[in-house]
A and B are shown apart, each in its own frame.
Chain A
Amino acid sequence: MKPDVRDSARYEKFSRRAAILSLGTLGVFGGLAARLYGLQVVSSDQFKELAEANRINRRILPPQRGRVFDRFGVELAINRQNLQVQLIPEGIRDLEGTLDRVGKFIEISEERRDRILKEISRRKRFLPVTLAENLTWEEFARINAYAPKLPGVQPNAGELRYYPYADRLAHVLGYVAKPSEQDVQDNDGDPLLMVPGFRIGKSGLERTFDDDLRGKAGTKHVVVNAVGREIKEHSREDGEPGKDAVLTLDMGLQDFAYDRLNGESGGVVVMDVTNGDILAIAQSPAFDPNEFTTGLSQKSWDALRTNEMNPLVNKALQGQYAPGSTFKIITALAALESGLINPNEHFYCNGKTRLGRREFHCWKKEGHGSMNLRNGLKNSCNVYFYEVARKIGMEPITAMAERFGLGAVHDFGIPGGKAGLVPSEGWKQAVQGGRWSAGDTFNCSIGQGYLLATPIQLAVMISRLASGGRKVEPRLLRALGDDFQGQGEAFDTMGLTPKWVDLVTEGVIAVVNEPGGTAFGKRLTGPGLSMAGKTGTVQVRQISREERASGVIKNEDLPWKYRDHGWFVGFGPIDNPRYAVAVLIEHGGGGSSAAAPVAKDVMREVLLRNPSIRPSYGPQGDSALSVSGLSGANGGAS
């Protein structure tokens, strides 16, 4: 090395400075190496975990909801494909921009947009949020094509509950809907409930058997890339699909009953008196549960709420009405069982009777003349039952009513059933505050006054009579999953005196089948066709003395909500009763004119269909069809 001599001063200076700079450089490299050591050795485990959390995403596999069938395997509630678009908030950096871009392919209203933004702010960032659902194939295909350019946007083919019979079964099946905050809390924050598009049973059978129908969620761990797109499956734990349910209903009969109601406000219950199977439980008007599942518009909701026919109320279980003359069956049996009344004892009906200073009227102004028990039932003579009540008092009537299932909720799966009311002397004291009067007993003896009953209760009542005094309980569920509830065993007898039961049965046969009976015009004729029954007419207004004097205003001349309720309870065939029917027509006019014709047609239909003896569907083993063979594979919906 021979530096220029003239340059030596510069060279020395340069050498020193270069040494300083090099040391600085070395120092920087030392710092970089130290940082690498810190990241890759000291804190490495922590970063490894973070990297793994980045890479692996847990996805919940919602189980396929169990389907619901009628007794012959007709699909009542199924799952249909639901094309939807979901957002995974953690994969999106520019939320507004993403919504704008998605908005070019499918319409997102301002309202919906606000709701989505709110939902995203509330939920954990890794949980997907449903942006739109029930898309058409065309919309779905468009979104699918552009999804790779829209990070965090996930097209998804999920499933949605569908009720093919819509309002015809609304009050039986109920509906499913998105879980509320409260539902999530009640389920201990089950992440399944937070899966977008997941729905739980909110009413009806969907709610009662929600746990069974819902099934068990599976989980899947997937490797995702930075924008949350699934790269491959890492591991999977399959869930269990929900159990299928088979009901006792005969959908054909249900359809018939619904149509026969013809839009009138009312309900029809048809039961098998031998095993309590509910074959039809129709009500009108109702609502379309599919609308509730997809989200009801405010307008539809208001329309349902303000409808004076109360489509939201389950009339068969929750509608409580005075049973009217149908209750005379109870009064008659109470009288006979009490031993205080001889069935051949006659009372004279001249159209009214007196109790102290009060007058109690028969529905037939000119009176029925001399009546024994059988004719009292056949003609539905009020005065006869007033006289009976005068003799036996309230207590045996209350007891008999309770034995026939009145005043109690029959729990067969549909939630919200009402108990009705069977008053007693003690009840009045406690609730109304006042002494029980003989007048109260008079009113109750003909099914008025404080008495309240639901259509299902009256169906059970007439079933118990038709079965010869057995403790019939209604049932709606035949099978749940592989658990078959049995064909139904004969019910225990209630311990009534058979000859009295036969006598009252004879009376209600006479009502329909003997000239002069209140429903003689509605009798069934034809091979194997016959029906017995009892009508009931319930006043919903007070008839004043003046009006009674000048002639009671006819139902047709009154506004709808002041018209009488019409009842009919009956069974058939008369020689070997199998089917019981209860019909209520709200504000329909009299029992014989409004309810009995419906009951007659429904009874003819059920006798012709004879659903109880036809081969049914389910896992009972004696059928060619098996539920397990039909239950769906584990849902791939997510």
Chain B
Amino acid sequence: MSSYTYGETGREVPLWQKFREIDWWLIFLLCAVAAVGFIMLYSTGWDIAKQMRDPSRALTHLTRFSIALVLMFIVALVDVRVWMSLAYPAYAAALILLIGVELFGTVGMGAQRWLLIGPIRVQPSEVMKIALVLSLARYLHGLTVDEVSRIKTLAPAVLMILLPVALIFRQPDLGTALLLLMGGAALLFLAGLSWRIVAVASVLGGVAAGFAWRFLLQDYQKQRVLTALNPDSDPLGAGYHIAQSKIAIGAGGLFGKGFGNGSQSQLNFLPEKHTDFIFTMLAEEWGLIGALTLLVLYLLILFRGLSIAMSSRHHFGRMVSMGVMFTFFLYVAINTAMVMGLIPVVGVPLPLVSYGGTVMMTIMIGMGLVMSVHIHRDIDVPRHSGAFW
């Protein structure tokens, strides 16, 4: 792929070279997606009754993205082995925060998700998304293909996934729990988990889902699932959001109603249009063309992630890159499928487009890690060396 090398053993990379190695394509794609978010949030600021525009959300989005971009650069420039050595401590910290939220968390929207540490509001489940990818990547980096399918060596990895999933499920935050579960499972699959185990796990997963439905899911969660299956059954009740969202998307047609002209969105028939349902607004105002454009941008980001993973000399890098990208994919897929009425309503935002700082930081830190993998792709990291030093 590239013609340069910085030493067979590659212990150190000079800072100036790191800058040269930044994946500007990925940066461009991320900025493009964030720009879509800016435009859509600018559109939500239009108050049709007062004929006035409030650009504050769009500007906040821009500010947050700029900060996140800087953060991404910092993360990217740090040697990937530093991140590797921080993987377990980060995971431990995230787990402690999750337990903390269980004990002292703030209840918001009927679920315990936030933890107040001084003036800072932390959402431990977001921290865990990064930490789990890092620690799983680190653990799997140390396993041979055979060991992945061996119960004794597989068990710690499975436990590593299930522990936070269970805690987050209890909050209850079904969406994030599933996100972590699927992200973790994907990493195990990529690491070479034997098909036999994949099959058994799938069956067990099905049984567990049935059990969860019967005993663990809260009523509102069940209702959401049922609603997704038949959103038109009760248009003013639980299915209202989905039905209105479908109307908005459908009414957008091929070319959309134009910027600021989405009646469904602008007249508030659409719920939470600046967060979870922003894709609906995009589809209404920019039509199929706009919606597909955004999906293609996401696809290109995923493709960049895949090629970064494939070009990494070390397994840790591949795992981190794929883990981050797969989580990114899950965000996009779950959110868009949800607003189109394909799956139940789960509170998952559209990455870099939805309004909200926490998820944006998580994603950009993740992207920073991917970038770091890219910059440090040729570094030799022996299977049994877990750390930089």
Interface residues of A (CB under 8 A from B): 1-4, 6-7, 9-11, 13-15, 17-18, 21-22, 25-26, 28-29, 31-33, 35-37, 39-41, 43-44, 46-48, 50-52, 54-55, 90, 93, 223-227, 231-232
Report Cα–Cα, A309/B184, bound state, in Å: 90
Known: A1-B311, A25-B302, A29-B295. A48 touches B251 (CB 8 A): yes
Q: Give which listed residue, B240, B249, B306, B315, contacts A39 with CB less than 8 A.
A: B249
Known: A48-B253, A51-B264. A40 touches B283 (CB 8 A): yes
Report Cα–Cα, A9/B244, bound state, in Å: 51
Q: Which residue of A lies closest to B264 (CB)?
A: A51
B253 pairs with A226, CB closer than 8 A: no
Q: Which of B289-340 contact A (CB under 8 A)?
A: 291-292, 295, 298-299, 302, 306, 309-311, 313-315, 318, 322, 326, 329, 333, 336-337, 340
Write out the residue numbers on chain B whose beta carbons fall within 8 Å of the beta carbon of A9. 144-145
Q: Which of B132-187 contact A (CB under 8 A)?
A: 144-145, 186
Interface residues of B (CB under 8 A from A): 1, 48-49, 144-145, 186, 189-192, 236-237, 240, 244, 246-254, 263-264, 267-270, 283, 287-288, 291-292, 295, 298-299, 302, 306, 309-311, 313-315, 318, 322, 326, 329, 333, 336-337, 340, 342, 378, 380, 383
Q: Give which listed residue, A1, A26, A28, A40, contacts B250 with CB less than 8 A.
A: A40
Write out the residue numbers on chain B whose beta carbons fall within 8 Å of the beta carbon of A51. 247-248, 250-251, 263-264, 269
A224 pairs with B251, CB closer than 8 A: no
Report Cα–Cα, A225/B264, bound state, in Å: 8
B124 to chain A, nearest CB (A): 28
Q: Beyond A6-B383, A31-B342: 9 further Cβ-contacts under 8 Å?
A: A17-B189, A18-B318, A26-B299, A29-B333, A32-B337, A36-B288, A41-B253, A47-B250, A51-B269
Contact sample, A vs B, 7 pairs, CB 8 Å cutoff: A2-B378, A6-B383, A14-B315, A15-B310, A50-B247, A51-B264, A226-B268
Write out the residue numbers on chain A whose beta carbons fall within 8 Å of the beta carbon of B145. 9-10, 13
Report Cα–Cα, A54/B283, bound state, in Å: 18
Report Cα–Cα, A491/B298, bound state, in Å: 94
B313 pairs with A2, CB closer than 8 A: yes
Known: A21-B190, A32-B336. A4 touches B313 (CB 8 A): yes
Write out the residue numbers on chain B whose beta carbons fall within 8 Å of the beta carbon of A3. 313
Report Cα–Cα, A36/B251, bound state, in Å: 11
Write out the residue numbers on chain A whose beta carbons fall within 8 Å of the beta carbon of B244. 54, 226
Report Cα–Cα, A224/B333, bound state, in Å: 33
B295 pairs with A32, CB closer than 8 A: yes
Q: Give which listed residue, A36, A223, A225, contacts B283 with CB less than 8 A.
A: A36
Q: Which residue of B lies closest to A49 (CB)?
A: B251
Q: Give which listed residue, B267, B302, B309, contacts A55 with CB less than 8 A.
A: B267
A10 pairs with B299, CB closer than 8 A: no
Q: Which residue of A lies closest to B236 (CB)?
A: A93
B254 pairs with A40, CB closer than 8 A: yes
Most chain B CB within 10 A, of A6, A17, A39, is at A39
A-B complex: 6 closest residue pairs judged by Cβ atoms: A47-B250, A51-B251, A13-B192, A225-B267, A226-B268, A40-B288
Write out the residue numbers on chain A whose beta carbons fall within 8 Å of the beta carbon of B287. 40
Q: Give which listed residue, A10, A36, A227, contacts B192 with CB less than 8 A.
A: A10
A16 to chain B, nearest CB (A): 9
B135 to chain A, nearest CB (A): 18
B383 pairs with A55, CB closer than 8 A: no
B77 to chain A, nearest CB (A): 23
A179 to chain B, nearest CB (A): 28
B268 pairs with A227, CB closer than 8 A: yes
B181 to chain A, nearest CB (A): 16
Most chain B CB within 10 A, of A1, A9, A15, A36, is at A36
Write out the residue numbers on chain A whose beta carbons fall within 8 Å of the beta carbon of B329. 25, 28
B250 pairs with A223, CB closer than 8 A: no
A47 pairs with B247, CB closer than 8 A: yes
Known: A36-B283, A51-B263. A44 touches B191 (CB 8 A): no
Write out the residue numbers on chain A whose beta carbons fall within 8 Å of the beta carbon of B322. 18, 21
B236 pairs with A18, CB closer than 8 A: no
A-B contact count (CB 8 A): 156
B283 to chain A, nearest CB (A): 7
B314 pairs with A4, CB closer than 8 A: yes
Q: Give which listed residue, A13, A31, A50, contacts B251 with CB less than 8 A.
A: A50
Known: A7-B383, A21-B190, A90-B236. A46 touches B250 (CB 8 A): yes
Report Cα–Cα, A29/B329, bound state, in Å: 10
Query: What secondary structure prevails in chain B residues at the interface with A?
Result: helix
Report Cα–Cα, A2/B2, bound state, in Å: 10
A147 to chain B, nearest CB (A): 14
A14 pairs with B190, CB closer than 8 A: yes
Report Cα–Cα, A10/B336, bound state, in Å: 34
Report Cα–Cα, A17/B306, bound state, in Å: 12
A599 to chain B, nearest CB (A): 66
B250 pairs with A44, CB closer than 8 A: yes
B333 pairs with A17, CB closer than 8 A: no
Write out the residue numbers on chain B whose beta carbons fall within 8 Å of the beta carbon of A50. 247, 250-251
Write out the residue numbers on chain A whose beta carbons fall within 8 Å of the beta carbon of B298. 29
Q: Give which listed residue, B192, B249, B309, B311, contacts A40 with CB less than 8 A.
A: B249
A10 pairs with B144, CB closer than 8 A: yes
A187 to chain B, nearest CB (A): 30
Write out the residue numbers on chain B whose beta carbons fall within 8 Å of the beta carbon of A36. 249, 283, 288, 291-292, 295, 340
B269 pairs with A226, CB closer than 8 A: yes
Q: Which residue of B lies closest to A125 (CB)?
A: B236
A97 to chain B, nearest CB (A): 14
B326 pairs with A21, CB closer than 8 A: yes
A41 pairs with B306, CB closer than 8 A: no
A224 to chain B, nearest CB (A): 7
A121 to chain B, nearest CB (A): 14
Report Cα–Cα, A31/B342, bound state, in Å: 10
Report Cα–Cα, A226/B262, bound state, in Å: 13
A231 pairs with B267, CB closer than 8 A: yes
Write out the residue numbers on chain B whose beta carbons fall within 8 Å of the beta carbon of A35. 337, 340, 342
Most chain B CB within 10 A, of A29, A43, A51, A52, is at A51
Q: Give which listed residue, A1, A33, A48, A54, contacts B295 with CB less than 8 A.
A: A33
Known: A17-B190, A18-B306, A18-B322. A39 touches B264 (CB 8 A): no
Report Cα–Cα, A236/B322, bound state, in Å: 59
Report Cα–Cα, A32/B295, bound state, in Å: 9
B250 pairs with A54, CB closer than 8 A: no
A226 pairs with B267, CB closer than 8 A: yes
A55 pairs with B306, CB closer than 8 A: no
Report Cα–Cα, A55/B342, bound state, in Å: 25
Report Cα–Cα, A37/B254, bound state, in Å: 8
Write out the residue numbers on chain B whose beta carbons fall within 8 Å of the beta carbon of A226. 244, 267-270
Report Cα–Cα, A55/B263, bound state, in Å: 7
B192 pairs with A37, CB closer than 8 A: no
Q: Give which listed residue, B264, B302, B311, B342, contacts A54 with CB less than 8 A.
A: B264
Write out the residue numbers on chain B whose beta carbons fall within 8 Å of the beta carbon of A33. 292, 295
Most chain A CB within 10 A, of B244, B251, B264, B269, is at B251
Write out the residue numbers on chain A whose beta carbons fall within 8 Å of the beta carbon of B186. 21
Known: A4-B380, A33-B295. A14 touches B342 (CB 8 A): no
A32 pairs with B267, CB closer than 8 A: no
Q: Give which listed residue, B192, B249, B267, contacts A47 with CB less than 8 A.
A: B249
Report Cα–Cα, A598/B49, bound state, in Å: 65
Report Cα–Cα, A6/B315, bound state, in Å: 11
B267 pairs with A1, CB closer than 8 A: no
A29 pairs with B315, CB closer than 8 A: no
Write out the residue numbers on chain B whose beta carbons fall within 8 Å of the beta carbon of A2. 313, 378
Write out the residue numbers on chain B whose beta carbons fall within 8 Å of the beta carbon of A52. 251, 263
Q: Which residue of B lies closest to A44 (CB)?
A: B253
Q: Which residue of A lies closest to B8 (CB)?
A: A2
Report Cα–Cα, A13/B315, bound state, in Å: 11
Write out the residue numbers on chain B whose beta carbons fall within 8 Å of the beta carbon of A41. 253-254, 288
B331 to chain A, nearest CB (A): 12
B192 pairs with A54, CB closer than 8 A: no
Report Cα–Cα, A2/B269, bound state, in Å: 55
Report Cα–Cα, A55/B266, bound state, in Å: 10
